[in-house]
Structure 1
Amino acid sequence: MRPIIVSEWTSLDGVFDAGSMEQWFNPYHSESRAAYLQQVIDNCSAMLYGRTTYEMLYPYWSQLRNNEMGVAEKMNSVQKFVVSATLQTAGWSNTTIIEGDLITRVAALKQQDGGPILVQGSGRLVHTLLEAGLVDELKLLVQPHIMGAGARLWEGAGTQGLELKAVTQLDKGVLALSYAPAGL
């Protein structure tokens, strides 16, 4: 069975809005954070995105050709799945569009042979996968910054008990937290 690993980057107060990353994410860049992010991406064998995140990432990453940031090659070559009821074509290489019954389709992906499936961003998709019991690990990269306003990762999510698996302090006060849904 392939585990689904969710990786999210947030401010201390849960903001994960890509439009404000220059305030809550960029100032906390460090070699240790870059190495952590590279490891998370390198350890997956497929990526699963919601349409909004896919459409945000695809134009940028698909144009890179020199393994920029140590992950461009992986981002472009890995098998990708995008959940969408409206997307007609997926231009990013190795991308399959998932339509219809999301839970059934993702549960079937988990049953296939292969390594971990990584979900990045895609807040609504993450909520749905957590509620369906399809997430095996939740990796939160928390920047020591309070935004006070902005799109919050857990806004609109149902309740979910979690068990702490690991805490790693990175440079500049960034925390890498690993959780499993309670009871796993």
Structure 2
Amino acid sequence: MGKIVALTFLSLDGVMEHPVWTGPYFNADHAKYAHGQLFASDALLLGRITYEGFAAAWPHLEETEGEFAARMNTMPKHVVSTTLDQAEWTNSTVVRGDLATEVAKLQERYDRDVLVYASGELTNSLIELGLLDELKLWIHPVVVGTGKRLFPEGAGFTSWRLAATTSFNSGAVILDYRPAPVAEEP
């Protein structure tokens, strides 16, 4: 049974939107980690906005990004959307209906991870439904100041335990969390 794993780039102040600010920190160590996460996964689960951005970019990146781009383009992709009629990117399908039911089907279908990139609203929905098995926050040493944050004001209370950390010589760090029994809400 596959695990649902979210990997999200964040600034120190929690911004995830338009992560062009990650560029100066991305190096060979980052690439190796990202490669490992992608190749440990059987499929991608994406929100519509992330899907549309990826679908516009990745098909044109195989020449420069090699096997990583080839994997992105060929692996199964599932996009959660109530507005998208069809998914045009290779091996993509639109997920409709009850999210909990559809995610359970994906977990049964795949043996390895189902990777969620970015997709803040989807990640928050998965957390709210208790469907997220791992939350990997890739934090970059920059304060952006404005932009969409992963956890918006009013997000429900949840509790997590730190399972692992990965640090990079760039100053970025990945905090790898697992759901924990709910502690008392402050």
User: Please, what TM-score do these two structures have when normalized by structure 1?
Assistant: 0.92
How has the CA–CA distance of structure 1 residues 96 and 67 changed in structure 2, closer, same or farther, with 3 Å as cutoff?
farther
Aligned partners of 2:24, 2:109: CA distance in 1, in Å? 39
Unaligned runs of at least 5 residues, structure 2:
none
Aligned counterpart, 1:131: 128
Aligned partners of 2:75, 2:141: CA distance in 1, in Å? 31
Give the aligned residue type for 2:85: Q
Higher mean displacement: 36-45 or 103-112: 103-112
Runs of 4+ in 1 over 6 A off after TM superposition: none
- Superposed CA deviations along residues 98-141 of structure 1, whole A, max 9, x for unmatched, are 11211211122112342110000110100010111111111111
Query: In angstroms, what is the RMSD of aligned CA positions?
Result: 1.6
Aligned partners of 1:69, 1:182: CA distance in 2, in Å? 38
SS where residue 60 of structure 2 aligns? coil
For residue 41 of structure 1, the aligned residue among 27, 38, 42 is 38
Aligned counterpart, 2:164: 166
Aligned counterpart, 2:8: 8
Q: Map 1:40-79; keep pairs closer than 5 Å.
A: 40-66=37-63, 68=65, 70-79=67-76
Aligned counterpart, 1:95: 92
Paired residue total? 181
How has the CA–CA distance of structure 1 residues 69 and 32 changed in structure 2, closer, same or farther, with 3 Å as cutoff?
farther
Give the aligned residue type for 1:50: G
Aligned counterpart, 2:105: 108
User: Please, what TM-score do these two structures have when normalized by structure 2?
Assistant: 0.91
- Contact residue 66 and residue 73 of structure 1 kept, 8 A: no
Unaligned runs of at least 5 residues, structure 1:
none
Following superposition, the deviation at residue 62 of structure 1 comes to: 1.8
Aligned partners of 1:67, 1:115: CA distance in 2, in Å? 27
Q: Map 1:140-151; keep pairs closer than 5 Å.
A: 140-151=137-148
